Amino acid sequence: MKEDEFRQALKERKVPVLILDPKWHRLFAIHGKTDRIKETEKNLGGLLAEQGRVNQELKDLKHLKSSLLDSIRKNMDGANEENNDTLMTRKLEENSRLVEEVNEKMENCEDRLLELPRLISETNQELMILSMEYCYEKMRTNEREAEEIAAWIADIRVQLKENIIKKQNREINNREIYGFMHDIFGMEILDLFDIEYEYEKEDEEGPE
């Protein structure tokens, strides 16, 4: 599959926000995250934090607009009376100006909130691709090392079998030699040589 076809196929799949999943973090428990994964994770976290801030800002702006409109309505009632004063009129004008500013800010927030889900999805998808590349590389490395270890174990098993046979042959040969010496020289001479042999062995091995 070509790269562009691969990425297009991935776009059609819904992926949960990775940095919110504890199991995603556990993928890197042994070897840690690469610099690119750390950077993309940071970018995604920033976008999510911004989404939360903008949502809260929009909520606060709506509350402020509601308060300003209430104030405007009250000032309009007062301004329509015969005893209309300049201060009330100025306050009405100022509140109207503030409502326009709030409307502009609300529009900016709403535009950003329309854009953020796409940015979050794209960044999350990029993080998914980096994570999958990382995991497959680690699995390939583990598989290669497992095969090398399996070959080493197989070789050691062969060597172990060969050494067990060698050990058994040496022990059999020793028993044969000792038996022949017993038949040739007799037990009394063997006892003397056994004692001398043990002394020499202790001298060679040294004190424990």
Q: How confident is the model at residue 206 (pLDDT cuts 50, 70, 90)?
A: low
User: 180-198: per-residue pLDDT in tens?
Assistant: 988 998 888 888 887 877 7
CA 21 to chain centre: 10
Specify the range with the lowest mean pLDDT, choosing from 21-25, 53-57, 93-97, 171-175: 93-97
**Residue where the block lists tokens 């409307």:** 103
Q: Round to whole Å and give the CA distance between 134 and 34.
A: 8
Q: State both tokens at 21.
A: 């999943």
Q: How many helices (H) and strands (E) does the chain have?
A: 5, 0
* Crossing angle between the packed helical segments 187-205 and 86-185, to the nearest 10 degrees: 150
Residue pair 169/177 in contact (Cβ under 8 Å)? The answer is no
**Mean predicted confidence (pLDDT) in 37-62:** 96
Distance separating the N- and C-terminal Cα atoms of the chain: 69
User: 6-35: per-residue pLDDT in tens?
Assistant: 666 777 778 899 999 999 999 999 999 999
Residues near 12 by beta carbon (within 8 Å), at least 6 away in sequence: none
Q: pLDDT averaged over the chain?
A: 87
**What are the residue boundaries of the structural domains of the chain, listed by start?**
3-147, 162-205
Q: Round to whole Å and give the CA distance between 162 and 173.
A: 16
User: 122-146: per-residue pLDDT in tens?
Assistant: 999 999 999 999 999 999 999 999 9
In angstroms, what CA-CA distances link 145 with 98, 142, 148, 156, 187?
68, 5, 5, 16, 57
Q: Can you give the pLDDT at residue 130?
A: 94
User: 158-175: per-residue pLDDT in tens?
Assistant: 999 999 999 999 999 999
Q: Round to whole Å and give the CA distance between 181 and 81.
A: 138
Q: Can you give the pLDDT at residue 185?
A: 86
Q: Can you give the pLDDT at residue 79?
A: 53
Residue pair 21/129 in contact (Cβ under 8 Å)? The answer is no
Q: Can you give the pLDDT at residue 116?
A: 97
Q: State both tokens at 206.
A: 């040294």
Residues near 65 by beta carbon (within 8 Å), at least 6 away in sequence: 99, 102, 103, 106
User: Which pairs from 132-135 meet CB under 8 Å and 24+ separation?
Assistant: 134/27, 134/28, 134/33, 134/34, 134/37, 135/27
**Mean predicted confidence (pLDDT) in 88-92:** 75
